[in-house]
Amino acid sequence: MIVRQFLEWLETAPAERRAEAAHAMARAYLYSDVDDEARGEMEAAMTVLLDDPATEVRYALADALAVDPRAPRHIILALAADHLDIAGLVLTCSPIFIDPELVDIVAVADGGRQAAIAARLPVSRAVAAAIAEIGEADACVALLDNPDASIAAISLARLAERHGEDAAIRDRLLERTDLPPDIRQMLIRQLGDRLGAFVSAKAWIAPDRAQFVTRDACERATIAIAAESATEDLAALVEHLRVTGQLTTALLLRSVCAGNISLFEAALAILSHMPEGRVGGLVRSGRPSALRAVYQKAGLPASAFEAFAAAIETAREASHESVPVGRHALARRTVERVMERYSAITDGEANELLAMLRRFAAEEARESARTVARAVRNAA
């Protein structure tokens, strides 16, 4: 009876009234105390409304049903395939969907529907992985903006690989505290390369100079990333640096001079194929012969060994002093000790390392001066 009367009324009612009726019908289905026969007729009437030519009618239906788990499943699925404003409502809100369904929808949907799924509360790791793997940029932005999305490290890596050049996605990734250090370093390097190419194209500085400046900045950023990373994350960072050709002797020496011996130890462990705990014990043992053995096994240049030995010895001595040594002061002291060892060396690679150390010493001197100036201003 309900369906027949409703269908007859639909033939002449204006769209605005049909939308009101659709919303009321859906609310009655969810909340009215009726028998199964009446509920079945209501469901049939709502199914008929799926074919209404007026989008406001179908939107009214979606608005009433979207958040309720008792909504008829076939109606929700049909609405999810409707116009974006209608589909987005149910894809974002409906608890009817299970993860495999959402993954399948992501695989075939346009960016707007993908973004609607990315905005769900919550988003599981499986759904986040699908969006990271094939989602359009807008969907990936929505995923990263979702505080209730669970995103695995491998999915963050895919987001960086696929959309790392998109400023909106790159900035959101770099703001995350759970971004793996190797992915953070990759994004920073990409950004540096783009900036270097930009200033070269504008002819602001020579291409060789631009390349040098960006590489130097990337090395500083890499060491800062390593310093802030958990020990268990350093192996992945080192492996990334090795594969991309960034794991240089200069980078490792600069890291040790900056007080980050853990990155050096992780690099030695990977290059020598030895357990990291064993390598750490040899490096910190205070025995030059033990350090030399693992250093040689890692295949690092013999000409640079004395520099690493001097830097590690200086750091070990500072750790035993009764008054803690400030980071910048320790870095300057370390560089001075290393350059003393290098004073009589004329090897080409050694000279390059010496030039790097001089730049590093100048940087630390400036940072130390800034620290003192800030302290004076704060005390005033």
Q: Which residues contact 366 (CB under 8 A, 6 or more apart)?
A: none
Does the bond joining 122 to the residue before it have cis omega, within 30 degrees of 0? yes
Specify the pLDDT at position 168.
Answer: 95
Q: Which of 74, 82, 78 is nearest to 110 (CA)?
A: 82
Ordered DSSP codes for 198-247: HHHHTTSS-HHHHHHHHHHHHHHHHHHHHHHS-GGGHHHHHHHHHHTT--
The tokens of 359 are what? 């730049």
Segments of the chain with pLDDT less than 50: 346
In single-letter form, the type of residue at position 12 comes to T
Return d(Cα 199, Cα 203) in angstroms, integer.
6
Cβ atoms of 174 and 184 closer than 8 Å: yes
Specify the pLDDT at position 210.
Answer: 66
Cβ atoms of 174 and 181 closer than 8 Å: no
Specify the pLDDT at position 214.
Answer: 76
Cβ atoms of 210 and 196 closer than 8 Å: yes
Specify the pLDDT at position 18.
Answer: 92
Specify the pLDDT at position 326.
Answer: 65
Q: Reduced to 3 DSSP states, what percent helix, strand and coil does the chain have, rounded to the nearest 5?
A: 75, 0, 25
Specify the pLDDT at position 360.
Answer: 73
Return d(Cα 168, Cα 164) in angstroms, integer.
9
Q: Which of 225, 223, 194 is nearest to 211 (CA)?
A: 194
pLDDT tens digit string along 62-96?
999 999 999 999 999 999 999 999 999 999 999 99
Return d(Cα 261, Cα 253) in angstroms, integer.
9
Return d(Cα 231, Cα 250) in angstroms, integer.
21
Return d(Cα 217, Cα 347) in angstroms, integer.
25
- Other CB atoms within a 10 A radius of the CB of residue 344 amount to 7
Strand partners, 123: 149
Return d(Cα 39, Cα 76) in angstroms, integer.
17
The tokens of 41 are what? 């007729």
Specify the pLDDT at position 364.
Answer: 66
Cβ atoms of 187 and 170 closer than 8 Å: yes
Specify the pLDDT at position 200.
Answer: 66
In single-letter form, the type of residue at position 208 comes to D
Q: Which residues contact 198 (CB under 8 A, 6 or more apart)?
A: none
